[in-house]
Amino acid sequence: MLLQVDRLKKKYAKSTSPALKDISFSVAEGEFIAILGLSGAGKSTLIRCINRLITPTQGTIRWLGKDITIASGKDLTMYRRSIGMIFQTFNLVGRLSVLTNVLVGRLGYMPVWRAFLFRYKTSDIKAAEHALERVGLFHVRDKRADQLSGGQQQRVAIARALVQQPILMLGDEPVASLDPMTSKSIMDILQMINRKDKITMMVNLHDVELAKQYATRVLGISRGKIVFDGPPEKLTYEE
Ligand code: ADP
Ligand code: ADP
């Protein structure tokens, strides 16, 4: 198992009821998991716990058998390096070129002024260019990131995650701000990466049809609990 989540609970400091209650599941290599649920169900909290952007209140998260629930410092950095993350709002640095945004994924985040002046190694540039080819954006590598469309920006974010050579890719509503056609093109890229690079996928979606089309497994979440865990064809609309 890549990931084992056991009896996870998350309660935010000022809220009365927990955002996640008793969540348990395991993730095997190669899966394409869609996390489905209404707004406020806890999907984003779950993704943020797994990437340890936040720390769970109770329960454990194991990565390749190692308990990383409260890991910090070097252990946390090592763990995060094996996980690529994409967001609803893409999180690119608009003033930097497309290529530099991808390079930042390879070298770790740095202040913008430093990213501008940094002398990148040829091997890193080659890797970033290759990742941009994979998502079909090599031709815009020198443009400023904020000149691209939303769909293109998400593809840059995917390339930035790819150059990290992650084992698992997490997406927090990666297509929620894109139109249906563009959403599909992004899901197609994630599927290609899942199949060709064998990178395990775990993405929050609120579109049942997309989950059915792309996921190999659906985790349905409602009010902080898992209410469905199975193949998308078994999904019913009540959930
Ligand atoms: P989502 O798109 O997952 O529904 P929201 O738009 O509700 O997220 O939240 C946007 C930001 O506000 C997130 O960073 C989230 O952590 C934070 N947030 C959401 N709900 C609350 C809350 N009740 N109290 C404080 N912060 C919140
Ligand atoms: P989803 O991603 O499914 O929309 P979230 O994980 O964003 O759900 O939110 C789950 C619950 O936790 C909601 O009730 C939300 O308001 C609350 N919440 C999210 N982020 C915060 C936060 N930073 N502080 C307090 N409450 C939060």
Q: Give the CA distances from residue 135 to residues 131, 176, 233, in Å, rounded to whole numbers and listed in that order.
A: 7, 19, 29
Q: List the strands of the sheet with 58-63, edge to edge.
A: 20-27, 3-10, 58-63, 66-67
Mean pLDDT of 198-211: 95
Residue nearest to atom 15 of ligand 2 (CA): 40
The ipTM is 0.78
Binned at pLDDT 50, 70 and 90, residue 116 comes out as confident
Pocket test for ligand 1, best of 16, 36, 43, 44 (most atoms within 8 A of CB): 44
Least confident of 91-100, 112-121, 223-232: 112-121
Mean pLDDT of 8-16: 95
DSSP codes, 137-168: -GGGTTSBGGGS-HHHHHHHHHHHHHTT--SE
Residue 85 or 206, more confident: 85
> Any alpha helices (H) in 21-72, and if so which ranges?
43-50
Q: Pairing between strand 58-63 and 66-67? A: antiparallel
Average pLDDT, the chain: 94
Looking at residue 239, its pLDDT comes to 46
Please report where in the chains the tokens 């579109």 appear, as a residue: 207
Report CA(45)–ligand 1 centroid distance (Å). Answer: 9
Hey, which residues does 6 pair with through a beta bridge? 60
Task: Encode pLDDT of 65-91 as tens digits.
Answer: 999 999 999 999 999 999 999 999 999
18 Cβ closer than 6 Å to some ligand 2 atom? no
153 Cβ closer than 6 Å to some ligand 2 atom? no
pTM of the model: 0.90
171 Cβ closer than 6 Å to some ligand 2 atom? no
Go through 199-238 and write b for each residue having 16 or more CB atoms within 10 A of its CB, e for each that does not.
Answer: bbbbbbbbebebbeebbebbbbbeebebebeeebeebeee
Task: Encode pLDDT of 16-70 as tens digits.
Answer: 999 999 999 999 999 999 999 999 999 999 999 999 999 999 999 999 999 999 9
Report CA(18)–ligand 2 centroid distance (Å). Answer: 9
232 DSSP assignment? G
Residue nearest to atom 13 of ligand 2 (CA): 40
Please report where in the chains the tokens 């893409």 appear, as a residue: 90
